[in-house]
Amino acid sequence: MRPFDGRRVLLGVTGGIASYKSAWLARLLAKAGAEVDVVLTRAATEFIGAVTFEALTGRPPYTALFGVGHALDHIKLARAADAIVVAPATADFVARAVHGHGDDLLAACLLAAEAPVLLVPAMNDRMWAHPQVRQNVARAREIGYTVVDPDEGMLAAGEGSGPGRMPEPEAILAYVGRLLEPASALRGRHVVVTAGPTREAVDPVRYLSNRSSGKMGVAIATAAHRRGAQVTLVAGPITVAPPVGVAVVAVETTEQMAAAVREALPRADVLVMAAAPADFRAAEAAPHKLKKRDGIETLALTPTADILLATRDVRRPGAVVVGFALETRDVLAAGREKLRAKALDLIVVNDALEPGAGFGVDTNRVSVLHADGRDEHLALMSKAEVADAILDRVAELIGGR
């Protein structure tokens, strides 16, 4: 899985109760394709066993700075790593790291490292709020380490809730991916992505919509964030969790989605319209629930606004605009017409009737139509892979402008 395949990640685990989450992080890294070297501090082994990590990664963990045949482990591990993540990073470890201590294997690895370093502090909320800890965290960022602030939530037993909780492993995985991603033309750019369906009321309890899950838009937002972009996700009611680090604007109707996109576009370098907004709404929504016993002969419909057309006048000069077209017949012809009519740089088209390429699945088979007349027909692949394929082409367009 991009960008983990074949990459070497050094996972450092220090002595905190949150170390139980580190085991799942190790598993996620390995499952994504990374080679994971785990370094446990002495205190970490009081909370979780080394054999757990060996079973999850297929590689023996490291626990000691010195030992016969292991005198230079800190140099070898640091040189081999493409990224180093310390999760959890206790207050003590952060202090030792920023003051250049090398009195255990993990701290010595940081001193010998040229790879990017991610620290994930986890501790009691009072410790996290202490001025010395805050100063050490600030110093870590000055050194060049990336520091992920802890989440707010349940702490150790009896300590209630507050800031200090280690983020979930899936969130940490996203930050590691950002460290591993090669330099991209999207780094520092503002990317707006839309995802999911919209809902248009028929009465107070019913609506017109479609079967879009939002998976494709979320995959694009995730990939854009991993490439270093500032991402705004304008999402209708989606069935998947939004990606970590992305600003989410939740909407319900097509009109609300159009307004949110219109507000974001003047600052956007890229717009990817991956949502499936409802094309029609009730001409007049009923004020009360329509009763079956009363019968209804017709339901008058009226078209909703076309978001890409309605926002042409606020697009930033030079912005790259990508549309999506889900069709059931004349797929390429319909896509080309939308590409021209909506002044797009690219349009991604697919057939809703093709197995594995419609709503609610994790795969897609798409064609990418370019404004210069080129057509690219991609193989069936995961939506994450489709997202990267689309953003590769967006990056080329940005780099040429």
Which residues lie across from 84 on neighbouring strands? 10, 117
Kind of pairing, strands 363-364 and 280-282?
Answer: unpaired
Would you say how long the chain is, in residues?
Answer: 401
Q: Please list the active-site residues.
A: 210
Cβ neighbours, 10 Å, residue 75: 14
DSSP-assigned letter for residue 182: P
- Six token digits for residue 386: 């489709």
Q: Which residue is it, tokens 């050094």? A: 10
Pair of tokens at residue 254: 């097509």
Task: Give the three-class secondary structure for 327.
Answer: strand
Q: How far is the C-alpha of 289 from the C-alpha of 204, rounded, in Å?
A: 6
Tell me phi and psi for residue 322, to 5 degrees: -120, 130
Enter the DSSP assignment of 64. -
The answer for residues whose C-beta is within 8 angstroms of residue 237's C-beta and 6 or more apart is 196, 197, 199, 209, 252
Residue ranges with strand state E in 148-304: 151-154, 161-165, 190-195, 200-203, 206-208, 230-235, 247-250, 270-273, 280-282, 301-303
Token pair listed for 246: 């992305």
Within 10 angstroms of residue 5's Cβ, the number of other Cβ atoms is 11
Q: How many CB atoms lie within 10 A of CB 324?
A: 24
Six token digits for residue 368: 């990418």
Answer for the pair 85, 171: CB distance below 8 angstroms, yes or no.
Answer: no
